[in-house]
Amino acid sequence: MNILVCISHVPDTTSKINFSENNTKFDTNGVQFVINPNDEFGLTRAMWFKEKQGAKVTVVNVGGAETEPTLRKALAIGADAAIRVNAAATDGFSVAKQLAKVATDGGYDLIIAGRESIDYNGGMVPGMLAALLDANFVNNCIGLDVDGTTAKATREIDGGKETVATSLPLVVGGQKGLVEESDLRIPNMRGIMMARQKPLTVVDGVETTDQTTSVSFEKPAPKGAVKLVAEDNLDELISLLHNEAKVI
């Protein structure tokens, strides 16, 4: 089985986020980048297929040279090869077009992407990619098994879970549950050293037209001051909850 895992290069959730150019551009200065968490669940599941079924795992990212350390981490985790599409990840449609070209050229049986990235939270790429490839698609995937050319996937739905059977080629929008957090892998020294010997291929992007544009960004409002109430002053607490917070 030939697996392609889509990797987004996203800010660490502990990073302080700022914007520049009158709040129209994300300021990357001082920001630490990591593998998108939803993609990391997918990569870990792909590694399971590699170890149990002998699958070949390739990771792909759309972005500039600054994203290569993230791809190298994926190689250190155990992926066999990496591809960087040398194009700016400007919107979901453009990214899906770039990935579709890579997927078509590589003849992949299974494509695993995160259901969304944690930076822009667009949630568009996996579905668009499946449509461009005319492939089956399962989103919000929390369980996946493959037997030959048949796949069984479990996805999260409102109020429960749904298990579906489908055939390859398949695009999956994965999330937590595809593997558990305890199953995620930290690259060891041997993996890091081996990653240096694995191929990281840079390919030119295809020409695309953006369908969306970020107009401006706005940070959440700062938290208000905390008002402390003496533990024995129940009347004041009730008054504040009723008259100011208006929660009772």
pLDDT of amino acid 205: 93
What is the rounded average pLDDT for all residues in the chain? 93
Question: Residue 107 corresponds to which amino acid?
Answer: G
- b/e per residue 215-247 (b: at least 16 CB within 10 A): eeeeeeeeeeeeeeeeeeeeeeeeebeeeeeee
* Backbone dihedral angles phi then psi of residue 245, each to the nearest 5 degrees: -75, -25
CA distance 8 to 113: 9
Q: Which residues neighbour 25 within 8 Å (Cβ) at sequence distance 6 or greater?
A: 19
Select 2-220's CATH number: 3.30.450.20, 3.40.50.620, 3.30.9.10, 3.40.47.10.
3.40.50.620
Task: Render pLDDT for 53-110 as a digit per residue (tens, 0 to 9).
Answer: 999 999 999 999 999 999 999 999 999 999 999 999 989 999 999 999 999 999 999 9
Q: How far apart are CA 61 and CA 83, in angstroms?
A: 7
The rounded distance, in Å, linking the Cα atoms of 75 and 200 is 9
pLDDT given at position 222 = 83
> In the chain, what are the domain boundaries?
2-220
Distance in angstroms (rounded) separating the CA atoms of residues 79 and 56: 8
Specify the DSSP class assigned to residue 181: G
Bridge partner list, 5: 59, 112
Place of tokens 């959440």: 220
Q: Enter the pTM of the model.
A: 0.86
The pLDDT assigned to 142 comes to 96
Q: Could you tell me which residues come within 8 angstroms of residue 130 by beta carbon, excluding any fewer than 6 positions away?
A: 136, 137, 171
Instruction: Give the per-residue pLDDT at 247.
Output: 86
Reported as a single tens digit per residue, the pLDDT across 141-200 is: 999 999 999 999 999 999 899 999 999 999 999 999 999 999 999 989 999 999 999 999
CA 7 to CA 84: how far, in whole Å?
10
Q: How confident is the model at residue 244 (pLDDT cuts 50, 70, 90)?
A: confident
Which pLDDT band holds residue 39 (cuts at 50, 70, 90)?
very high
DSSP letter assigned to residue 226: P
Query: Which range, 30-34, 202-206, 211-215, has the best average confidence (pLDDT)?
Result: 202-206
**In terms of Cα–Cα distance, which of 61, 101, 90 is closest to 200?**
61
